[in-house]
Structures are given as structure tokens and as C-alpha cells.
Copies of this chain bind each other. A is one copy, B any other.
Amino acid sequence: MLKLLGYNLAQASIPTTRVFRRRIAPLGLTQVEFTVLVLLATNPAVTQGQLGRTLGAAPSNLANLLSRLEGKGLIERRRSRRDARAQELALTRRGESLAKKALAASEGMEEGLLRHFSAGERAMLFELLQRVARLRHA
């Protein structure tokens, strides 16, 4: 087995993706769509640019993704009053309701995945992953 960080991240993503597909995809959401909904649920009036930088998505791809979510009636784009170039994102009623449902499902999902990890191991895993993620800004 290869001792390379990128490879091991990809390998670890296999079971998490599989469980996502079983538990949350049936609600009609892909992984990124789910993430967008949950982020918007807790971050009001985020702009597309901010969201795109968080997700590491290129502006063009984000526009596509958001058009799809808008088409499904889950989000709205509103011109910002502070900067007429920017668009602020918000969940619709339907988006909020779906985000709540998906978030609830995700809790059971996490518990299933990390069942055999102690509290200390979970904390360590998340901390190390976040440190790797922060290398973006280094």
C-alpha cells in the first residue's frame, strides 16, 4: 500500500462516499449539493465568491452548480446591495426543509462510520485533516 497522503485521502473517501450514497443521495442531493445546502443553512447572505473559495470550486463551475440548485427550487440568488456585482445566496423554504432533513440523516451516517473510533481518535482525525486543509492558505 502506498504511503502517500493524496492516495490515502482518496481511499478513505471510498466508504464515506458509499455511505453518503446510501443515506443521503436518495434525497436527491450530490455530495457538493449537500454541502452547499448545509453551509447556506448556517451562513446567511454568503456570496458566490465566498462559497466558491470555501469549496475550492472555480467560479464557472460554481455558477453551474448553483443554477442547478436554483432550478430545483432550493436556493435563491439576490443581487447584493453593497456590491452590485456580487450575489448573495439564500435557501428557499424548500431548501431549508431539505437541508434540515439531510443534516439529520448525516448524523446517523457519521455515527455509523465512526462507531469504532473513540472520542479522542475522532478529535485527532478531524484536527489533522483540518491542518492539512489549511495548507491551502500556506
Name the contact of A4 in the complex, choosing from B7, B18, B106, B133 (C-beta under 8 A): B106
Number of copies: 2
Within 8 A of B (CB), among A70-108: 106
Are B131 and A128 within 8 A (Cβ)? Answer: no
Residues of A within 8 Å of B, CB-based: how many?
Answer: 43
By beta carbon, the residue of chain B nearest A18 is: B136
Are A11 and B129 within 8 A (Cβ)? Answer: yes
Q: Give every chain B residue within 8 A of A11 (Cβ-Cβ).
A: 56, 129-130, 133
Are B110 and A8 within 8 A (Cβ)? Answer: no
By beta carbon, the residue of chain B nearest A20 is: B6
Q: Supply 15 further A-B pairs (C-beta < 8 A) apart from A9-B9, A124-B124, A128-B128.
A: A2-B39, A3-B126, A5-B110, A5-B125, A5-B126, A6-B13, A12-B130, A12-B132, A13-B13, A15-B133, A15-B135, A18-B136, A113-B132, A121-B128, A125-B128
